[in-house]
Structure 1
Amino acid sequence: MIKSPEASQSAWRAMTPDITPLLDIIFIVLVFLLLTANIPLQSLEVDLPKTDSEALSAVQDEKSMTINMMAGSPAWALQGEKYEDWAAFKPVLESNLEALKKAELMLASDGMVTVDNMMKLLAFLQEHEIQATQILMEEE
C-alpha cells in the first residue's frame, strides 16, 4: 500500500511531544536566576562612633577646620571660603594637607547634598590618611 506524504507527516507531528510548556519553565527559571544573581557593589568603609546622641561633644573652635558641602552652586567651602566645583576645591585641599592632618576636621553638609559629593570628599580624606573627622549634625 502506498501512503501519501501528507498522512505520514501528520502522524509524525502527532507522535512528537509539545515542548512549549518546557520552554516556558526554562524561561522562568532563567529570569529568576538572572534577577537573583549577586551584583558586586563598591563600598567605602566608614567607622561611626558607638555613643548615643546625649554623649555628643560640642565643637571646639580653636584647633578645628571645617569643610562645608552645599547643594547647588557653590558646592564646597573650606573655612568659609567657597569653591564652585570639585576641580577647583581639590587643589585647595591638597595645598592644606598638613593643616588638615593636624587640625580637628569637621564636615558640615547640607541635607540636599548628593552622595557623590560626600563620597568624593571621604575618598580624598582616606587616600591622604586624614583620620580625625567629625560630621556635624543639627539638633532636632
Structure 2
Amino acid sequence: MIGRPEAAQSGWRALTPDITPLLDIIFIVLVFLMLTANIPLQSLEVELPNTDSEALSSVQNDKLMTINLLAGEPAWALQGQEYGDWNSFKAVLTDNLEALKQAELVLASDKEVTVDSMLRLLAFLQEHEIQATQILMEEGH
C-alpha cells in the first residue's frame, strides 16, 4: 500500500489538520465580541437645578421634611430620627407617604455616603412620585 511513512506510525492523526490556532483565533474574537456588545444599562433620571449656589442653599421652613443619608451606622434619618437599615427606614417612609408628598422635601447627604444608598432613596421617591425639591450638597474647597 502506498502511503506516507509517518502516517503508518501515527495512524489517522497524521491526515487531520491541526486546528489549535484556529480555535485560538475564534476564542479571541468571541471574547472581543462579548466585551464590546451593547449591554443595556439601567439608569435613573435625576433632574438637577440650573440655578446658582445661593438659591440651592436657601431652605424654607414651612412644611419642610428632611431626609438625611449618613455615613456609617445608622445610615438613614427622617426629621432627625435615625434608622439603621433600609427596611426599617423604608417602612417609615411608606407610613409617611402623604406627608412626604405634601411637604417640601430636602435631601441632605454626607459626602462619604455610598451611591447605593442614594440610589435606593431616589428610586423609592421616584416610585412613589415624590419630588425632592432640594438636595443639599457640601460646597467644595
Q: Which runs of 5+ in 1 are unaligned?
A: none
Q: Which runs of 5+ in 2 are unaligned?
A: none
132 and 110 in structure 1: CA distance in 2 versus 1, 3 angstrom threshold? closer
Of 5, 11, 18, 1:7 maps to: 5
The answer for the alignment partner of 2:51 in structure 1 is 51
7 and 122 in structure 1: CA distance in 2 versus 1, 3 angstrom threshold? same
Q: Residue type of the partner of 1:9?
A: A
**1:67-125 CA distances to partner (integer Å, 9 max, x unpaired)?**
00111111111111111111111121122111111111000011111112111111111
What aligned pairs does 1:1-140 form with structure 2 within 5 A after superposition? 2-3=1-2, 7=5, 9=7, 19-53=19-53, 55-140=55-140
88 and 16 in structure 1: CA distance in 2 versus 1, 3 angstrom threshold? closer
- Contact 2:7–2:15 at 8 Å: present in 1 too? no
| SS class of match (1:108) | strand
Consecutive aligned runs of 4 or more in structure 1 exceeding 6 Å deviation:
12-16
TM-score of the aligned structures, taking structure 1 as reference length? 0.81
**1:35-76 CA distances to partner (integer Å, 9 max, x unpaired)?**
111222211111111234355351112221100011111111
- Contact 1:104–1:133 at 8 Å: present in 2 too? yes
Q: Take 1:49 and 1:95, find their aligned partners in 2: how far apart are those partners?
A: 29
CA offset at residue 130 of structure 1?
0.8
13 and 97 in structure 1: CA distance in 2 versus 1, 3 angstrom threshold? closer
TM-score of the aligned structures, taking structure 2 as reference length? 0.81
Seq. identity, %: 74
Q: Take 1:55 and 1:82, find their aligned partners in 2: how far apart are those partners?
A: 28
Q: Take 2:6 and 2:84, find their aligned partners in 1: how far apart are those partners?
A: 80
Count, aligned residues: 138
Q: Take 1:132 and 1:122, find their aligned partners in 2: how far apart are those partners?
A: 9
